[in-house]
Structures are given as C-alpha cells and as structure tokens.
Amino acid sequence: MKKVITYGTYDFLHHGHINLLKNAKALGDYLIVGITSDEYDRSRGKIDVRQTLPERMAAVEATGLADEIIVEEYEGQKIADIQKYGVDIFTVGSDWVGQFDYLNEFCEVVYLPRTQGVSSTQIRKESNRLVRVGVLGSRNPSLRFLRECQQVNGAEAVGLYSDNAGEAAEVAEKAGVTCFASREALYEEVDAVYIIDRLDRHAALIQEALEKGKHVICEGPLFLHLDEAKSCYEYAKEHGLILLDAVKTRYFPGYRHLLLLLKSGKIGKIKDIEVSFSQKLAYVDYKNLNKYEGSLYDLGGYIFLPIIQLLGRDYEQIHIFTSRENGFDVFTKGILKYKDAVASFKAGLGVKTEGQLIITGEQGYVYVPAPWWKTDYFEIRYEDLRDTKKYFWQYEGEGFRYEIMEFLRRINNRDLSDEIFHIKDSLAITKLLEDYDNGNYSLF
C-alpha cells in the first residue's frame, strides 16, 4: 500500500484545496492530511487564519478524500510523521517548489500543480470589509502603528491628526499617509480611529469618535474615571461600535498561551504575582511633563493586566508608594492584597529596573524575563529543575498587528466571545487608576 501525506491550513476550504487533495490521493492508496494547529500557524506568523482547527478538520473530512487526518503542531514534525506512518510520498502544491526537497532523504517528494486564481488569503480579503483607520495623535508609537497597519490585510492606514501640527506632518510624511487639518476632516475619511494621547484626554476623544460613528482602539489605560469608561462602553454597545484597548501584550500569542496554561492549572493555585515595567525617559525635564504622563498613568494598562486577568477584580486592599518630581510620578510601587493571594507591581519612567513577570503558584512558578510585555519566551519551573518547561513564541513586526487584527475581527463581527471580559478588565483597571488618582489607597 502506497501512503501519501500532505499538509496545509485549509482555511475556508476551496476548490484549489480539493484539487490538491484529489491529486494527492491519486498518487497512492492511502492519504494522510496534516492540518496545522491554530497555535502552530500563529507561531509561524500566519495570524490571519479565520477558522478554528476543528472547523478546518471538519471541512477536510467532509471532502471524503482523506483516509486519515492528523494535526501538525510544530516545526520539524513532517520528518517524524513520515517515519511514524511509513509514508512513501510527501506532496504539496507547486507554490512550495524546492522548499521540501530536504524530505527526499525520507520519502519521495512531489509538487503538484497549484490551482490558479484561488487562495484562502484571497477569500479572507474578500470577506473582510476594508476598514479605513485614522490616527488621533502623533506621539510615539503613532508612526509604528501606521506602518504596521499597512501590513494588515483588511486595514487601510489613511492618515493622522494631531494638535502638534509639526510632529503630525513629520509622521504623516514618514508613513506616507495624509496629514489632516482637523479631527473633523479625519472623521470624514475613516471608519475607525486609533487614539494615542495623554490618559486624561482619552475619554473626551473616545466619546467624540464614537459619536461620529467610528470604531475606536485606544492606547491603554483607556480611562481615568469609571463613570466615563462605563458611559463609553455603553454607548459603543448601543451603537454597534467596537471600543478596544491597545495594550499590545494582551493580543500576543505568547501571552495568550501563558494565560491558557495558567488557567488550566499548570502551576496550581496562584498565590503571588510580581510585575515590573520601567522605561527610563532620556533627558526629560519633569517640570515639562504632565502629571498624567507619569509612571502608573502611562504604564498601568500593562502593569495591571496580568494581575487582573489572573487574580481577578476582587482585591481587598491597595498599598502604594509613589516618588514624584514636580508632581510627576517617577516611580510607583504597590501591592494589591487579595483574600488568598497578593500581587506587587513597579512602574517607573524615572528609574530603570528588571522588567520581569513572576507568577507563583502552589505547584510551581512562571518566569517571564524582561521585557515580559513583549512576551516571546517564558519558563514554567518546578521544585525539580528537570521538570522546567520552556516556551518560545516569535511575534511578527513590532507587535501592533495582533491588536489591529483583533480590532478588525471584532469590527467584522467575528470572535466577540471574550468581549465581556475585556470590558470588565478595563473597568477594573480604570478603578485602580481612579483610586490612585484620588489618593484612595493606603501608604506602605
């Protein structure tokens, strides 16, 4: 019996896939189809796949062409599969010519003609309404956001507006987009906005953009006051608009995987979280900085994220130590005490410290080295060092594309499953910042 194996993602199964499977089957007597897992696709940069693994497997199964379906989960698995299943022929479409020649050592390699004029990428593109995105604000990272927006299928980076006209013109030129003369002019041309501004100005901008009927993604933390946050989320919901925070870490595959591992009990019950984020601002004159650009106001969206997501919103006490220069929060250290757990955090724009995340559980702990907020690597460690598990995730570009993709997915009405948690987390973080702003906490 001649065994044939082929691999693919098979997102939105199309006639190109079916031709390939028919031709593959005709090469032998038994066809094994390897379908990439969601995580494997994300880890190799294929982050736009729409259908879940079970959906894609069901579609391939329904063709009746596969004698066996397996899941491809890691790089290098093909050799292991070929040996394990005693495969005679490995085949894929001609778009891969040459790339699998190394498998000739293990079996025959055949490149089948690819069907012209159809691909999953094309189908995804057509199913996506093009979302025109404008940026409100010219400060860092507006340029990187615009550039990365240009890389995402289904999004068009249109231009930006900022009160700082000189800076806006410079960013617009570098990104090759329009520099609008007013927010009104920008609203005319876009479906959605990305807001990058000072925390105390977010709420008014978000409200205005929503009232103009625009979807909003805003740098976190989104809000300083709970009543503003609630009214904006409510308004967005009533008007079918998306309001999303742009805390990049939340959307990174590595960070998402970490949360799933912890929620599934990998280290037992969590007792402690230590999280730090520092960014030493070079050559700053604290007198010229606004209070709301200070450490916790600026970095709170990141610092509080793992705490709230892992320990929840029901903390019992907050203790804070803040060091200020002319009212500017240079460094803040704090503790959130829960009933049976504790979290400590450090945020600093006027200090430098190790930006790591350590999560302590009853069975073991997670170590995410600095910069933890760009989660590409972490370890789960146990008493017996030999049990250590290491996880590596590569992310593409600067990391903005994951939040942009999520934003588009939501705008296109897909995957709203965890919306309620997003809002609850965002409100909890707003509450923490509001309490901090009002001095509503205990000192150390």
Q: Using CB under 6 A as the criterion, which residues of the chain lie in contact with ligand CTP when the complex forms?
A: 6, 8-11, 16-17, 20, 92-93, 95-96, 114-115, 118-121
Which lies closer to ligand CTP via its Cβ, residue 9 or residue 128?
A: 9
- Residue 354, C-beta contacts closer than 8 angstroms, at least 6 positions apart: 276, 370
Which lies closer to ligand CTP via its Cβ, residue 124 or residue 381?
A: 124
Least Cβ distance, residue 436 to ligand CTP (angstroms): 45
Least Cβ distance, residue 55 to ligand CTP (angstroms): 13
Query: Which residues face 89 on adjacent strands?
Result: 4, 108
Nearest to 243 by CA among 221, 208, 214, 200: 214
Nearest to 213 by CA among 233, 187, 189: 187
Distance (Å, rounded) from C-alpha 15 to C-alpha 142? 41
Least Cβ distance, residue 58 to ligand CTP (angstroms): 15
Length of the chain: 444
Helix (H) or strand (E) holding 360: strand 357-361
Least Cβ distance, residue 41 to ligand CTP (angstroms): 9
Nearest to 274 by CA among 375, 380, 356: 356
Least Cβ distance, residue 16 to ligand CTP (angstroms): 3
Q: How large is the angle between the packed helices 419-437 and 295-311, nearest 10 degrees?
A: 130
In degrees and rounded to multiples of 5, residue 222 shows phi and psi of: -75, -45
Which lies closer to ligand CTP via its Cβ, residue 121 or residue 290?
A: 121
Which lies closer to ligand CTP via its Cβ, residue 123 or residue 358?
A: 123
Which lies closer to ligand CTP via its Cβ, residue 103 or residue 246?
A: 103
By beta carbon distance, the residue nearest ligand CTP is 93
Least Cβ distance, residue 43 to ligand CTP (angstroms): 15
Q: How large is the angle between the packed helices 199-211 and 295-311, nearest 10 degrees?
A: 70
Which lies closer to ligand CTP via its Cβ, residue 74 or residue 321?
A: 74
Which CB contacts under 8 angstroms, 24+ apart, belong to 97-105? 103/78, 103/79
Which lies closer to ligand CTP via its Cβ, residue 20 or residue 427?
A: 20
Least Cβ distance, residue 152 to ligand CTP (angstroms): 14
Distance (Å, rounded) from C-alpha 319 to C-alpha 441? 6
